[in-house]
Amino acid sequence: MIKKKEILLEVGTNELEIMEFIIDGRSFGINVAKVFSIMKYEEITPVPHSNKYVEGIFKPRNQIITVLDLAAYLHLNPSEDSERDILIITNFNTNHTAFHVHSVETIHRISWDDMEKPDETIHGDMDGITTGIARIGEKLITILDFEKIMAELNPSHSVRVENVSHLADRPRNQIPILLAEDSPFLKKVLLDALHKVGYMNVLCVGTGKEAWNVLNNMRQTELDTLEEHVRLIITDIEMPEMDGHTLCKLIKNDRRFKHVPVIIFSSLIDEDMKKKGRTVGADAQISKPEIKNLVTYIDAFIFGDDSTIN
């Protein structure tokens, strides 16, 4: 097993590392922060009655890992020589999963500014499972929504509205919340969950840049008037144009907005990411899919009761 090298990116610089891989001659990408390791394809043990895109399981270093056939999921042609294929082992949403791809090309360091939102006129066949398009010279690399893929294949490891169903009888309110999340799938799930627990006034945007523009368009300088428009901000980390760390850094360095609580809600939260989040002034950092913890922190920041926070 070959572990990825540690990539030291200064927090708040709006940069990321993309690992380019090939399936059926097409270039796809994944944020290196999601990659635990890569290894040569090896014999997989089938699992009876599993999802049709699940090849089976294998056990590297005494850990059982599920293998997903990404070519089959994307309705692309299988490899002509599987012995040369690669397994990309990911670690996000506190879960390890292996994705079977045909080859891994290289790692590109780019700015989130160079990541474009999907244009369905170009990538219509990938509608709903693409979070961004990275332009590397003349090459287009499709960034897949791995969180949506995992939610479809293994719902237990994804954000689910049912996890807050016990809070559905709470009073409705119009407290304004700004949500920045690039995945259309997760945006809908989060919006449904927040509505279910009573937060009815949630403005959703798809990038950190859009969230920053929303804040600046308010053009408010007084706390009492600003709170009429936004009382709390929830942001993902991975987003085209501007990532969540950069957004948080801008907010906390601006006298107009620095008092507004910022919660980072991301599948990438680990000890290293927590350090980065603290550096940019995040008020809380919660790992997906812990939607119940997210609601707990929202309640604490808005209503001032932190007795339920661990």
The domains found in the chain, sorted by start residue, are 2-153 (2.40.50.180), 159-303 (3.40.50.2300)
pLDDT single digits (tens) 14-26 = 788 899 999 999 9
The answer to whether the beta carbons of residues 284 and 263 sit under 8 Å apart is yes
Give, for 268, the enclosing helix (H) or strand (E). Answer: none
Q: What pLDDT score was predicted for residue 147?
A: 84
- Helix, strand, coil share of the chain (percent; to 5): 30, 30, 35
Q: What pLDDT score was predicted for residue 1?
A: 47
Structure tokens at 65: 């890992």
pLDDT confidence tier of residue 297, bands split at 50, 70 and 90: very high
On average, the pLDDT of the chain sits at 85
Q: What pLDDT score was predicted for residue 158?
A: 67
Q: Measured between alpha carbons, how far is 57 from 67 in angstroms, rounded to an integer? A: 6
pLDDT single digits (tens) 171-217 = 999 999 999 998 888 888 899 999 999 999 999 998 999 999 999 98
pLDDT single digits (tens) 74-91 = 999 998 887 889 999 998
Give, for 190, the enclosing helix (H) or strand (E). Answer: helix 184-196
Share of the chain above pLDDT 70, in %: 87
Share of the chain above pLDDT 90, in %: 51
Q: Measured between alpha carbons, how far is 281 from 262 in angstroms, rounded to an integer? A: 8
Residue count of the chain, please give it. Answer: 310
Structure tokens at 285: 């950092």
Q: Measured between alpha carbons, how far is 192 from 98 in angstroms, rounded to an integer? A: 30
Q: What pLDDT score was predicted for residue 123?
A: 45
Task: Please identify which residue in the block is written with the tokens 């053009």.
Answer: 219
Q: Tell whether the model's pLDDT for residue 225 goes beyond 80.
A: no
Nearest to 187 by CA among 196, 179, 195, 176: 179
- Alpha carbon distances (Å) from 230 to 1, 211, 234, 238: 47, 11, 11, 22
Which of helix, strand or coil describes residue 12? coil
